[in-house]
Structure 1
Amino acid sequence: MKLIVFLGSVRESTPPSPPRLGQRVAQACVQHIQNLQGVEVELIDPLDYEFDSVFKPHFSYHQKDTPKQLQTLAEKIQQADGYVMVSPEYNHSMSPALAHLLNHFGASLFSYKPSAIVTYSAGQWGGTRAAVSMRSFLSELGCLPVSAMIHVPKAHEVFDEQGLLREQDAERGWQSYFARTFNQLWWWAQATQKQRAACDPKQLVKDFKRDPSQRNAP
């Protein structure tokens, strides 16, 4: 089973301080997922990808003209069995960096697989309001989020630069909190993986392709 953790931040400067707070949370997610049975996990950092200044999604290119980085990431998304979306909160919504990254790809790559929502903040709310809007966004992509979510307030006090817990006496509480969400994700990813093999959903529910104006939706 393959899972992808998407980091929804491209900010390296200060303020805010410390910079790249989301990287700590994403690393903590990766470390927890690595303990799940039979799971490969990869962290996708948007800073590792260069996109054209003019937005053009993956499905708008002729195959031979698709930028190599975009095609590589599209293949990783298609091959994955589930996704973890890590985002701060901007105006009660998900980060522009995460939305921009995900919007490069059609729902046909994500659909019929589960996702998990992880939000964080330097303040007291942990990005919970962003998580509300992320549910509808991810549902539209076709990777329905599991019911349990992870919210990390004052994340700089919880995790160090490597995503390790700062206070060992808090380890049991955070481990069980993360486990609730990622065990759900693991269960659903196993179920959908088996069902996709038993019944190809794209044969059961056809994509909209009758007219160029129609989305390539599940």
Structure 2
Amino acid sequence: MKILIVLGSTRKSLPPKPPRLGARVAEALRAHLEADYPDGDIELIDPLDYDFGQVFKPHFAYAANHVPQALDALADKIRAADAYVMVSPEYNHSLSPALAHLLNHFGSSLYAYKPSLIVTYSAGQWGGVRAAVGMRTFLSELGCLPVSAMIHVPHAAEVLDEDGRYRKEDGAERWETYLQRGTTQLRWWADAAGGHRQNVDPHELVGDFTRDPQQRNAPE
């Protein structure tokens, strides 16, 4: 099983500026999944590793043989994944622009019929929980339906150090138990969906919208 952890932050912060808390949360999740699921293929997607250019142009809008190599490689990773962990701070009570920008470069057929897990965080007390509300709709439209359990990390700088390790040893077990509920649901649904995809190709069964947006229209 391949699980992508997608980080929704492009902040480049050096001390004494505010730390890049999302990277800590993503690393904590990667460590949790790798320890709990040693046979899994866990990969962190950091938007700072990709140059999307100044003008937005999605992967599917490029002519054949003209797709930037890095964009094509990321599309292959998204297509090959069995599940997604979406990590976002909260901006104006919504998901981060960085996460939406990265995900919107690719058509929903790459994400579809696979589960996702919503993870939010904040420097304050709410843990980005209001962003999670909008993320449910956003991810559902991409086709990677979120599992019911969500993960919220308030006061992330106090919970995790720069490497994503728990600052308080006596709190590590409680946090790991908390993460377990969401990651267990994610893996259960990924197993179920992956097994069914081997028997029935949902893209062939339902049909993808690949030619024209009007394919979505109701009959006149």
TM-superposed CA distance for 1:16, in Å, is: 8.7
TM-superposed CA distance for 1:208, in Å, is: 2.3
Question: What's 2:23 paired with?
Answer: 23
Question: Which stretches in structure 1 are left out of the alignment for 5+ residues?
Answer: none
Q: Give the alignment's TM-score, normalised by structure 2.
A: 0.94
TM-superposed CA distance for 1:152, in Å, is: 0.3
Q: Give the alignment's TM-score, normalised by structure 1.
A: 0.95
Q: Secondary structure at the match of 1:186?
A: helix
Question: Which stretches in structure 2 are left out of the alignment for 5+ residues?
Answer: none
After superposition, the C-alpha distances for 1:179-218 in whole angstroms (9 at most, x for unaligned) are: 0000100111111111111100011101124535557xxx
Q: Secondary structure at the match of 2:85?
A: strand
After superposition, the C-alpha distances for 1:68-126 in whole angstroms (9 at most, x for unaligned) are: 01000000000000000000000000000000000000000000000000000000000
* CA distance 1:162–1:51, change in 2 (3 Å): same
2: distance between equivalents of 1:54 and 1:21?
27
Instruction: Give the percent of matched residue pairs that are identical in Structure 1 and Structure 2.
Output: 63
Moved more, 13-22 or 174-183: 13-22
Question: What's 2:51 paired with?
Answer: 50
* CA distance 1:204–1:151, change in 2 (3 Å): same
After superposition, where does 1:123-202 map in structure 2 within 5 Å?
123-202=124-203
After superposition, where does 1:194-213 map in structure 2 within 5 Å?
194-211=195-212
2: distance between equivalents of 1:209 and 1:86?
29
Aligned length: 215
1: distance between equivalents of 2:71 and 2:140?
22
2: distance between equivalents of 1:132 and 1:148?
12
1: distance between equivalents of 2:140 and 2:209?
17
Question: What's 1:4 paired with?
Answer: 4
Moved more, 103-112 or 56-65: 56-65
2: distance between equivalents of 1:44 and 1:136?
21
After superposition, the C-alpha distances for 1:149-190 in whole angstroms (9 at most, x for unaligned) are: 000000000000110000000111100000000010011111
* CA distance 1:53–1:132, change in 2 (3 Å): same
Q: Secondary structure at the match of 1:28?
A: helix
2: distance between equivalents of 1:52 and 1:162?
29
- Matched AA of 1:108: S
TM-superposed CA distance for 1:36, in Å, is: 3.1
TM-superposed CA distance for 1:39, in Å, is: 1.1
* CA distance 1:136–1:152, change in 2 (3 Å): same
- What's the Cα RMSD here? 1.5
Q: Secondary structure at the match of 2:36?
A: coil
